[in-house]
Amino acid sequence: MGLYWRFKLIYNNEEMIKEITAKTLLSSSKHPDPWFGIKYTMNLYRGCQHQCIYCDSRSECYQIEDFAEILVKVNAIELLKKELPSKRVKGTVGLGSMNDCYMPVEKRYRLTRQALELIARCRFPVHIITKSDLALRDTDLLAQIGKVYAAVSFTITTADDSLAKKLEPGAPIPSRRYQAIKTLSEKGIYTGITLMPVLPFIEDNEENISTIINRARDAGAKYIIASFGMTLRDRQREYYYDKLACLFPGLRQRYEQRFGEQYSCSANQAGQLERAFHEACARYDIATRMTHFTKESPQLQLGLFDPGTHSGKA
Ligand code: SF4
């Protein structure tokens, strides 16, 4: 995606925020993705202030040199005004694939809110993946878009607030995310959880998984989409391993011995965890797949659905 650089630099608590202009905004895929049913994706920002230690947006393939530098696409709404009405196929617009569209900088720029206003006006469906309760600010628009289709997935990889502060240092704690799920669910907005990644040796225990599910039930989550493992690609792995060395003494060596330079890895006892997960979700009547805006794609037929290992985003 082409970008023109304007280099308006704003220093904010040692964080660098740069305003840029982009050439295009929406990218589309022929078939909606099997997880969330997304046909169009857009990223209003580059880089992410949530700075999760496991984030795979750091991988080389995404060509983001400095993931801590936040680029704001200040012309994003102008682009969307042109691009969205020209789409002949109504398909779900996904926000949050490469960064969290409700990271703190959104409070100032309000690009996500303006994009939702446009999506509502054009009557497109939307799926948002986030770790932030700032999504509550847009409850009115989500309710309006929900007449077509709106889903909000909150990523929760641990229900333990103090562990989350280490793993996802810039994101609101899980307790706040659960509160947001409760509020949105009570307003009738289709809301659930993405339980991914599940970090080996840190989060891959039954207690963590069952606590996440119990609290999801209490909050009224309609679905939990889980993936029991993580990606470990080049720069993502380097960053993650460095953080492990600082935050969890001895764990880096365990990863290196167990996974070496693999590009993805499974949680310990992944099969057992997955069985326990499905049993608990069935007990509480929580779906383990989302209802999508469209079910026409053959990939969405249940028998062909094979999620594999998904990366952690937003
Ligand atoms: S995992 Fe998501 S919220 Fe965390 S840094 Fe990456 S894009 Fe941001």
What's the average model confidence in pLDDT over 141-162? 97
Above 90 in pLDDT, residue 1?
no
41: β partners: 27, 94
- Which percentage of the chain shows pLDDT scores above 90? 82
pLDDT exceeds cutoff 70 at 172: yes
Query: Looking at the predicted structure, is the pLDDT value of residue 299 above 80?
Result: no
Residue 314 CA: nearest ligand 1 atom is: 2
Least confidently predicted of 38-47, 285-294, 299-308: 299-308
**Comparing 59 with 175, which gets the higher pLDDT?**
175
User: Of the residues 53, 195, 198, 313, which should be mutated to test ligand 1's pocket, given the most ligand atoms within 8 Å of the CB?
Assistant: 313
Report how far ligand 1's centroid is from the alpha carbon of 248 (Å).
20
Helix, strand, coil % (nearest 5) of the chain? 40, 20, 40
pTM above 0.85, yes or no: yes
Q: Is 122 within 8 Å of 90 (Cβ atoms)?
A: no
Report pLDDT digits (tens) over 70-114: 999 999 999 999 999 999 999 999 998 899 999 999 999 999 999
pLDDT at residue 314, as a whole number? 75
Arithmetic mean of pLDDT over the chain: 91
The pocket around ligand 1, CB under 6 angstroms, is made up of 48, 50-52, 55, 57, 99-100, 131, 168, 171, 312-314
Residue closest to 294 by CA, chosen among 91, 115, 98: 91
Query: Quick check: helix, strand or coil at residue 145?
Result: helix
Task: Give me the pLDDT at residue 308, please.
Answer: 39
The 10s digit of each residue's pLDDT in 193-205 is: 999 999 999 999 9
Evaluate whether 123 touches 93 at the Cβ level (below 8 Å). no
pLDDT at 4: 46
Q: What is the pLDDT of residues 243-265, one digit of tens each?
A: 999 999 999 999 999 999 899 99
CA 99 vs CA 103, 130, 270, 285: distances in Å: 8, 9, 27, 30
pLDDT at residue 226 in the model: 98
Rounded distance from Cα 72 to ligand 1 centre (Å): 16
Q: Who's near 235: CB < 8 A, 6+ residues apart?
A: 58, 59, 60
User: Mean pLDDT throughout 220-241?
Assistant: 96
Q: Which atom from ligand 1 is nearest to the alpha carbon of 51?
A: 5
Say yes or no to pLDDT of 300 above 60.
Answer: no
Q: Whose CA is nearest to atom 6 of ligand 1?
A: 55
For ligand 1, atom 1: residue with the closest CA: 313
Pick the atom of ligand 1 nearest to 98's CA.
Answer: 7
Query: Would the pLDDT of 122 be above 50?
Result: yes
**CA 104 to centroid of ligand 1, rounded, Å:** 12
Grade residue 151 by pLDDT with cuts at 50, 70 and 90: very high
The pLDDT, as a whole number, for residue 64 is 85
The residue among 33, 119, 140 whose CA lies nearest residue 76 is 119
Residue 232 confidence (pLDDT) above 60: yes
- Kindly tell me if the per-residue pLDDT of 140 is higher than 70: yes
